[in-house]
Structure formats: structure tokens, C-alpha cells
Structure 1
Amino acid sequence: MSESSPVTSGTGVVPDDSGAGSDAPATRSGDGAGGSAGAAAAGPAAVDRETLRLALVVGGLVLAVLLGFGLGRMNAPAGPARPGGATAGGVATGGADGGAHAHSPGTGAHTHDGATVTQGGGDGATGLSITSAGYTLEPSTELVAGRAGELRFQIRDDQRRAVTRFAVVHDKPMHVIMVRRDLGGYRHLHPTMAADGTWSVPITAPDAGPWRMYADFTAVADDGRQVAVVLGADLTASGAYRPRPLPAAATSAAVDGFTVAYAGTPEVGKSVPLRFRVTGADGAAAALEPYLGAYGHLVALREGDLGYLHVHPEPVRDGDDVTFWLTAPGPGSYRMFLDFQVGGVVRTAEFTLTVA
């Protein structure tokens, strides 16, 4: 074989005659060893970066949750106010916004110390319970038919404290209505309160039998909020009870030489105006005088359960008429009692009303 003949390797690979071929395998071998050492050196740093990134993400989520919880507490609505108690005695007058309190169902537009309050009637009667809105009526009275006595009671809050803070509404801090179970013997009383929260007023039950008393008031809660409440309780005047039938329905009534008539037809669940006019014996409109801050005071009681509707008039008279807005909570018979004042004397006209 000639010396000039090419030489082949046993592997069939032609060696790189530039000399790089022999260095390449060494370089690859060196890369393998160096790669293992580099990975070992870079591993802890990579793990630390991943741990830091995860910690930042978790911390951000926790911070977001805490911020959301804090903002929620800051914007949470205030809870219900606790009824006022004996810690601060006295009465409060209604403000320019009408006293900032709710009213009984059946109450229409009326005034509180000159401020107009417009409220449509509700869909239910009040005065059916001895406890309502956190307040309880506790009477301590024994009635004897035909004998002069004294009606005494307290209003207690949900902590059993005697309430002594009441708002003056329609010139009085407390209105008491008394009526026999057959809707006869109507009385509208204004008791006075002692320092311990005991209310009292002289009373004579003209007839024996079961009576119903209503305490109509606006309590002032600890936070100053005013809450209008009507509570009812049964009383008994000793003696034989002889119930009388309800008089026939009529839209006019005579009392002490005056004729009182009204126009309007109440409907269930709808606020309807009733326009009352008082005329004298000569047929001319009577010179009505303000009574309890208005030109009339109307109470309607439902036959059967004696559900109570306390209705106030429009603040402005419509000519010679006094307008009340009444919402009948349900069908049936009602007895309406209109108090009005002429010549310094308060009189009461009574009507039977049938709601279909």
C-alpha cells in the first residue's frame, strides 16, 4: 500500500484533520462533569426564589382577605337600637322631621309639633298584644263598676326596666283608650307619669264586664331613636256583664246638639279619605278648635278582636271639613270614635262602620 493512500479508522469515521476532532470528545466529557457541578451549585438559589415567590403570593392573598373583612365591618349597618329605660328620665318632643318614628297602621298624613308627616295606612291593626317592639304593658288596676278608681300601669323595656323617656306626640306623651269588649263606654285619657315610670289617671268604669285598655305612646330609645307603639291589655270591672249589640252602621251621629257626618267609603288594604263635618243646631259649620294639635282625633276599633287603628287628620282643613286617611286592615264591622272640641269642650261622636 502506498504511503499516500488515505487511512480510515476502524469505526468508519473520518478523523478531523484540523485537530479539533481530538479536542471535541474531551470538551463534551468536560461539559458533562461541569453541568453536574453547575446544577448542584444553582439548585438552592432556584429553590429559594420559588419559595419567595410562593410566600409573596400567599401573603398577598391573606392581606386582601384581611382588608376585605375590615372594610366590611366599617360599612356594616348599625344593629337595632335598644329601647330606652329608666336611666334617663323625661320626655322628648318630636323634631322637624316628624319625630323620626314609625306610626300605627291606619295613620295618614298628620303633623308632629308643626312638622308634616305623611304616611299611608298599613295592612294590620295594632293593640292586639301586651308586648310589641321590645316594650311590655304592665297594668296594676282593679276596676269596680260605678266606683271611682285609678288606672295605674308601667311600660317596661326588653331588660325589664321601667321606661321613663317618651316623646310628646299630639301634645301628650301618653294616650290611653278604654273601651268595653262590646265597643261601648269609650274613654280617651291622658295619664301623668311618676319618677319611677308609673302612669296613673282617675277612672270610673260605668259598667261591669271585660274592658280593653290601649297605651298609645312613642318611646325614646337609648340612642335617641323614637319608636311608636300601641299595646293592649284586658281589664275586668267586677259585676254582671250584659253585652249590648253594636248599633247599626251610619254616616252621621248626634252629640250635645251637634251633628257630625262623614263622607267616604273605606276599603280593605287601601288608604281612603274620610271627610268629617261638624254642624250646630242651626246647620252652620261649627267653630272647631284645635285638640291634641289637630282639629280632630279619630280612633277605629274592629269588632271581634278589638284591633286598633289610630288615625290623624290632614294638617290643613279642607274648608269646613276635617279629612282623615283610613286603611281598613280587613272586612268586618268597626266602631269609630271622633273627638272634637268646640267652645273649650271636648265631645265624642261615635259611628258604626261596615267594610265589605
Structure 2
Amino acid sequence: MNAIAKVGAFAGAVVALGGLGSAVGASVGPIGEPERPTHQKHEAGNSGHGRQGGHAGHGAKKAPEATGLNVSQAGYTLDLVEDRPQRSASATLRFRILGSDHEPVTRFETAHGKLLHLIVVRRDLATYEHLHPVMADDGTWSVTADLAAAGTYRVFADFRPAAEAEGLTLGQDLFVGGPYEPQPLPAAAATSTVSPYAVNLDGHLVAGQTSRLTLTVTRDGEPVTDLEPYLEAYGHLVALRDGDLAYLHVHPEGAPDDGRTDPGPEITFSAEVPSAGTYRLFLDFKHAGEVCTAAFTAVADAH
């Protein structure tokens, strides 16, 4: 899936920044350790947009750009039809991608089997959905999302207009009213359980350089060696920077039909995060006909 601005690099795969299912805006310069919101109970629906940081210090290597932070980039705008939807486990989200002429864009290139990928995540990173909307003839996209929990959400649209050589990821906030108590981010851990699966993360993120991450999938303690292709890959990894939710989407090394990539238990990625700090990683994988999501908290060290 081509993302909304590149920040990652990986061998033999497509990395995109922008724009995982049973468990877990234009680019700006990198920021330092992001601040987490104060965990105070309040009424959702009046929150502002997330803070964007300044620039990191000078270094020998230019850090990759953060992406997914702005609602507009390169002449395109993510336009939510309703940014304050009713609280519902089956809420309908409708949006358009507007061009520089402020008219809806209706021609897109397919990326990893879909014309557009939508990521919906609450800002405390407690909820996550990877969705695939359907576009009407007038350029309005629609999809059902789980917005049962009150709070401020970030919506990322990951797409490539037919007129462009590269993909984009645009982001916009939406607000779901009701009593809202932000959840603390889980501590960093090497294993995520998505019953009956366990996924182990081996590798460490270092800002500004390629980090090799290997995720190993087991079921009831046994290695899973028959993962199924999902969106033309054995796994998809999304990383969101804690605080401002800078977005990174990485696809794995190899492909299901290349004759050399095994269908598990290991899925290997090479990712490059834009700054030191805490990230939440979401892995989508498919097995036995079901798409599952494993989530990890990972801390990236300074280069």
C-alpha cells in the first residue's frame, strides 16, 4: 500500500509513510520525545487537534519526514463529511479526497488490492481499525467503523491519485462525544497475545536508520507456517508515534508469490522511524480465514 509521505526503507518491499482484525496531516519535520496527554477524565467532543513539533537537532544524516500529520498535502485534502459522528459500534464514516480545485477526486490507483486504505485509531492508541471504504460515483467514500468508545480519533487515508507517481497519507481528527478517560499506553513488551495466537517481536527501533524487525507468529505454542496472503502480503505493519500520531506503514520483505518467501512463522520488516520516542506498532496478518491484529509498544532510541 502506497502511503501518505515516505519515512521508512526496507529491502525488497514498498515502504510508505502517511496512510491490523481482532486485537489491537502535509509532512512536518521530526520532533523529539512526544508528550502524552494527561490522563484525566473529561467529556469528549471539545478536544483540539494534536500538537505538531518543531525540528530535531542537526546531524550527519537527515532524518526521514513524519507523515499523516496534516489534512492537506500536495494539493489534496481529506474532507470528512461529518467530524462529530454519533457514538456507535457501527458508525458510518463518509469522506472525500478533494483536489486543488476543491472538487472530489474520483480516479485512484490500486495499491495492495485496494484503491484506498483507511486507518482509524483513538488518540490514546487504545483502539485501531484498518478499513477499506467504498467510493460512490460522486467521489464520496463510506465505511462502517467501530466508534463505540467516546474520545478523539485520528483518521488516516492512505491512497494514490491516478495523476500522481507516489501515494499520500492524509489525516484528520473526528470527535465522538461522551465520558472519556484516556488509557495509558501499555508498557513495551516483546510478545503480543491475540488469542489463540502469540506474536513475538525481535528487533529494536533506532531513529534515522533502518531497523530490522522480525515478528514470529505461533498458535497454541506451535509455529504458524501457513499464513495466508492479506492485501498481497503475509503481514502489514503500521507504526504510530505516541503523542502526535505520526504515521509509518511498512510492508514485509518478500511476497507470497515470489517463490522464496515462507508463509510464516516469521514476517520480517525493515523500518525507519523519524525520531526517538515511543511508538505503537500494529501488525495485521491472516490465518485460517481470519485477519488478526497484534499490537506492541516499542521505544526508538536516538541514532
Q: TM-score if structure 2 supplies the norm length?
A: 0.77
Is the 1:268–1:330 contact (alpha carbons within 8 Å) kept by the matching residues of 2? yes
Aligned residues: 250
Quick one: structure 1 residues 102 and 226, their matched pair in 2 at CA, closer, same or farther if it must change by over 3 Å? farther
Checking the alignment, whether the CA contact within 8 Å between 2:277 and 2:299 is kept in structure 1 is yes
* In the alignment, structure 1 residue 340 sits paired with structure 2 residue 285: yes
Decide which of 214, 236, 239 is 1:297's aligned counterpart.
236
Tell me which residue corresponds to 2:271.
326
Q: What's 2:78 paired with?
A: 137
2:91–2:145 Cα contact (<8 Å) kept: yes
Partner Cα distance (2:159, 2:102) in 1:
18
User: Closer, same or farther in 2 for the Cα pair 1:246/1:119, shift >3 Å?
Assistant: closer
Which structure has the larger Rg over C-alpha atoms?
A: 1
CA–CA distance in 2 between the matches of 1:293 and 1:304? 31
Shift of 1:301: 0.2
More helix by share: 1
1:23-102 equivalences in 2 (<5 Å): none
Cα distance, 1:109 vs. partner?
Answer: 3.9
The one-letter code sitting in structure 1 at the alignment partner of 2:105 is V
Question: What are the within-5 Å matches in structure 2 for residues 250-265 of structure 1?
Answer: 250-265=189-204
One-letter amino acid matched to 2:96? Q
Shift in Å, 1:284: 2.4
Alignment partner of 1:174 is 2:119? no
Preserved CA contact (<8 Å) 1:143 1:237: yes
1:219 aligned residue: 161
Say if 2:71 is the partner of 1:126. Answer: no
Structure with greater strand percent: 2
User: Which whole-Å CA distance do the structure 2 matches of 1:273 and 1:219 have between them?
Assistant: 30
Contact 2:189/2:298 (<8 A) preserved: yes
> For 1:107 and 1:220, how far apart are their aligned partners in 2?
24
The answer on 1:277 being equivalent to 2:216 is: yes
Structure 1 unaligned regions, length at least 5: 1-93, 112-116
**Contact conserved, 1:109 with 1:118, CA < 8 A, in 2?**
no
1:292, distance to aligned residue in structure 2 (A): 0.5
Q: TM-score scaled by structure 1?
A: 0.66
Higher relative contact order (CA 8 A, sep 6+): 2
Separation (CA, whole Å) in 1 of partners of 2:191 and 2:147:
27
- In 2 relative to 1, CA 248–150 (structure 1 residues): closer, same or farther, beyond 3 Å? same
How far the C-alpha of 1:118 sits from its partner, in A, is 7.8
In the TM superposition, residue 186 of structure 1 has moved relative to its aligned partner by 0.3
Query: For the structure 1 residues 122 and 201, does the alpha-carbon distance in structure 2 shift closer, same or farther, using more than 3 Å as the test?
Result: farther
- Residues 16, 249 of structure 2: 8 Å contact kept: no
The separation in 1 between residues aligned to 2:165 and 2:99, in whole angstroms, is 13
Whether 1:351 aligns to 2:296 is yes
CA contact (8 A) 1:109 1:312 kept: no
Cα RMSD (Å):
2.3
Cα distance in 1 for partners of 2:159, 2:153 equals 20
Q: Could you tell me which residue of structure 2 aligns to residue 210 of structure 1?
A: 152
Aligned to 2:132: 190
Flag structure 2 segments of 5+ consecutive residues without an equivalent.
18-61, 256-260
Change beyond 3 A, Cα 1:135–1:273: same
Q: Distance in 2 between matches of 1:212 and 1:252?
A: 26
1:243 aligns with 2:182: yes
Task: Please report how far the alpha carbon of residue 110 of structure 1 lies from its aligned counterpart in structure 2 after TM superposition.
Answer: 5.0
Identity score, percent: 44
Q: For residues 127 and 113 of structure 2, what CA distance do their matches in structure 1 show?
A: 24
Deviations for 1:221-274, whole angstroms, at most 9, x for unmatched residues?
A: 1xxx43310000000011111100000001111102111012111111001111
Aligned partner of 2:106 in structure 1 is 164
